[in-house]
Amino acid sequence: MTEKKTGVLIGGSGLIGGTIVNYYKTQHPETVDIRAPSSKKLSIREEKDIRQYLAEVNPDFVINASMANLGSSGQLAYEVNYLGPVNLARAAAVLQIPYIHMSSAATLPAGTNIREEDTLPLGPELNNYAKSKLMAEKTIQLMAEKEGLDYSCVRLAIVYGAHDHKIQGFHRLLFSIADESMPVLFTKKETLHSYSNARKLPYFIHHMLENRAEFSSKTYHFVDTNPVDLANLILTIKSYLHQSSPREIYVPYWLAKIGKNSIVVLLRLLRKFGLKATLPPELMFLDSFYRPQTLSSEKLQNSSFIDPLPEESIYTRLPDLVTYYLTRWSHQNLIATHKETPKMDKTVEEAFRNDPQSLVDSLHTKGIAPFTTIKK
């Protein structure tokens, strides 16, 4: 009889993490005990929490699916998207267990058929989310080369799936159309993007964990084979909802940019009057509405992984997703919650903004060796 394994997943409350937890609890309950500690038990921002929890549980693998909100400050993005994942990797290295790290297409440039190695250069011009995700990728890769870390990195594009508690990404697009707050198309014709099916992802993670020799120290783009035309997707959702908007009028980029800049100016004025307001996260990625980004899936297709749902795509899932989210939103009072911005370390904040490479070099100098205080 196969011995039951224990896995620890960070970020279980999100769409990706929740889908992975549900997969293991329903598909492999006899062989895998998946733990998804709350932030009260394990805060990814606290090195002490990571050391203590993993030492106590002594897992057979760790999966990191956590992420700071897209509009987070530099300090929060640095701690949640960079330091936390690196500390998880340090713990996994000393425990000599596989570490699966979930990353993002935000670390990649615009373009078509982008390969795994075609990452953006690390620099101050990147937004907080992309910068911190790219920093994590760099350090984790270095740990594999220098410290023997057994890791796999999975880059996701625009994720779609049910049971997402946050309204962002694809679900923000769906919400905007359902709420009739998108009068026209803020994109241009034939702007293609890659999409990632959350329901398929756990099968790939399970396969990677069962075949470490093939997948160790490698990065894969987990995306659907066929990219999606943004305008076509919007109009398809519109037809499902039987709505008159958005109208098939394409707003040119220069005009959309003026609108975004006007909102930025307005928010600055509001702050002077003591009103706290931030730019909607989606507007941070306005450029991507007008520029294609399609990720190559060749490496994934050439691996031993077999797609469990080959015919499934964003279009085949749309009827179920529309029904699920419209039902959910109709039963909810959508109230914007507010959390106090964490106190920032000005030195880190400034370095993260202007010279992210210095933070990477600083941490490497301090040490990224496996933790010595964790024992099996």
The mean pLDDT of the chain is: 87
The reply to whether 144 and 283 lie within a common domain is: no
- Does 306 lie in the same domain as 214? yes
Q: Concatenated DSSP letters for 275-341?
A: ------HHHHTHHHHHS-EEE--HHHHTSS---SSTT--HHHHHHHHHHHHHHHHHTS-------PP
Q: Within this chain, do residues 187 and 97 fall inside the same structural domain, yes or no?
A: no
Q: Based on the domain organization, do 171 and 80 belong to the same domain?
A: no
332-340's contacts with Cβ under 8 Å and 24+ in sequence apart are 334/167, 338/276
The answer to whether residues 216 and 360 belong to one domain is yes
CB-based contact 177:243 (threshold 8 Å): yes
End-to-end, the C-alpha distance of the chain in Å comes to 23
Are 255 and 128 part of one and the same domain?
A: no
| Residue corresponding to tokens 């929060």 | 76
Same structural domain, 300 and 246: no
pTM of the predicted protein model? 0.86
Alpha-carbon span 73 to 245, nearest angstrom:
34
pLDDT of residue 89: 96
Q: With both helix axes pointing from N to C terminus, report the angle between 15-27 and 201-210 in degrees, rounded to the nearest 10.
A: 60
pLDDT in tens, 271-309: 666 666 665 555 666 778 889 999 999 999 999 999 999
The answer on pLDDT for 262 being more than 80 is: no
Q: Domains in the chain: how many in total?
A: 2
The whole domain housing 77 covers: 1-157+194-225+293-310+343-376
Domain match, 267 and 351 both = no
Q: What is the CATH number of the domain that holds 80?
A: 3.40.50.720
Does 366 lie in the same domain as 253?
no
For residues 36 and 81, membership in a common domain is answered with yes
Q: Verify that 298 and 253 share a domain, yes or no.
A: no
